[in-house]
Amino acid sequence: MSGNRAERRAAGRGGGPERSPNDDRYGRRPERRALAPAVLAAIVLLAGLALLGTDGFLWIRYAVAILSLIVAVFVWQARQWPWLPGPIVVAVLWNPAVPFQFAGTAWAIGQLAAAAALVVTGVFASRPPAAR
């Protein structure tokens, strides 16, 4: 192909400025919008292990409940219904307004299980890419 780099880029765009030249080469990937809040919630859950049984754990409950509801909204928007119960259960169990009084090793294991469930939900609840 002849011409300078700007001419080659302009020729490669073909479909307009909103289309990437790599779309044809690599294909379009599904969107995983729930992944970022799920990973943040998992980080908060793991950090919350140090605050179990203290008054500071209330802030962990708030953060986890809000982030898991955000994950649930993204899963709902992606119409991935089988993945919806996980974040909703986490939001209910970590609800600071009507708290469940769990304690001990079972609650620590629940923290780890909730972190894993949210990350798995974030990875697998994807939606097809938007048409351009």
- Print pLDDT tens along the chain (132 aa): 566 777 767 666 654 455 555 556 667 777 888 999 999 999 999 999 998 888 888 999 999 999 999 999 999 999 999 999 999 999 999 999 988 887 788 889 999 999 999 999 999 998 877 765
Per-residue confidence (pLDDT) for residue 84, from 0 to 100 = 95
Q: Which residues pair with 40 in a beta bridge?
A: none
Q: Which residues of 76-97 are buried (b: 16+ CB within 10 A; e: fewer)?
A: bebebeebbebbeebbebbbee
- In whole angstroms, give the CA distance from residue 24 to residue 94: 44
Check: CB of residue 127 under 8 Å from CB of residue 77: yes
Determine contact, residues 71/122, Cβ cutoff 8 Å.
yes
For residue 126, what pLDDT is reported?
86
Per-residue confidence (pLDDT) for residue 18, from 0 to 100: 57
pTM for the predicted model, two decimal places: 0.76
